[in-house]
Amino acid sequence: MSDGGHPLTYLTSALEANGLNPIPVIGLDQPSAYQEAVRLAAQKRGVCLRLRTGTMDYTEAAGIEAFIEALGASPETTDLVVDFEDVKPDGVNGLVFTQAGVLGLLPCLERWRTLTVAASAFPLDLRDIKPDSSVKIARAEWQAWCRHASNQSLKRIPAFGDYGIAHPDYVEIDPRLVKMSAALRYTLDDTWLVAKGRNVRDYAFDQVHEICRSIVRLPEFKGAGFSWGDEFIQRCADDQTGPGNATTWRQAGTSHHLTLVTQQVASVPDPS
């Protein structure tokens, strides 16, 4: 920053000034300046340690406790997120096995303030989906977590984490160079439904009305009162609002997803 301070320190102070309680997030590979900024911020509310399994050397698991102690934290003041990032929709069995193995390597498993596993099987983009069609994509991360939630042999059942209706890697697209297609992403119990139209440059945005009508006709449609996103889809299907744009479509799908997943997690019975 202009005053020589670290951006994380500035951000933490700005959030606190607005009445929020930020918890700094750090990975094992962050530079020393970032670690120092986290150490200062962690004195108030602890820290979140995000372990990216795709880049983590599993021999580093033994040094996790020492790493957070150097930040002035302890397992009791640390939210541990084990992030498996990009997974395959058809890889549920392998994901269950891998997650159980990684959790088994973690030290002091029962002492972490919170423990979460995260992943996403959503594709990087929708280019493989044909125009004017809809496909279902398995929510592998959700299906795998449900197995953990019913496993009485686990020492600790982790909380569920995902990337909403997106791939873990953010791809920045210049709309001037790419013909963006109209599309809606609608989360179902074990899958995502992706309803895709044609590119809006040649076929306009109004095609979203028909896409919304196709979702409303589904027996799995939750109804306009379920979430803000479902209300938008219903109103768009009834021609009571405009078709929106790419931001609106992502907002609607995310609103529905968060509401559904919250209810799903809350309804999973305690295996004990």
Per-residue pLDDT tens digits for 23-34: 999 999 899 999
- Of the pLDDT bands very low, low, confident and very high (cuts 50, 70, 90), residue 219 is very high
Mean pLDDT of the chain: 93
149's enclosing H/E stretch is helix 140-149
Contacts of 91 (CB under 8 A, 6+ apart): 121, 140
Residue 43's pLDDT band, with cuts at 50, 70 and 90, is very high
Which of 135, 220, 124 has its CA nearest to residue 233? 220
Q: Tell whether the model's pLDDT for residue 18 goes beyond 70.
A: yes
For residue range 171-201, what is the model confidence (pLDDT) as tens digits? 777 767 778 899 999 999 999 999 999 999 9
Q: Report the DSSP pairing between strands 191-199 and 181-187.
A: antiparallel
Q: What share of the chain in percent tops pLDDT 90?
A: 85
pLDDT the model gives residue 178? 77
270, pLDDT greater than 80: no
Please determine, for residue 71, whether its predicted confidence score (pLDDT) is greater than 70. Answer: yes
Two tokens, residue 129 = 């989906």
CB-based contact 192:185 (threshold 8 Å): yes
Using one digit for the tens of pLDDT, what is the confidence trace for 107-151?
999 999 999 999 999 999 999 999 999 999 999 999 999 999 998
Other Cβ atoms within 10 Å of 6 Cβ, number:
16
| Percent of the chain clearing pLDDT 70 (strictly above) | 96
157-166 pLDDT, tens digit each:
999 999 999 9
Mean pLDDT of 241-261: 97
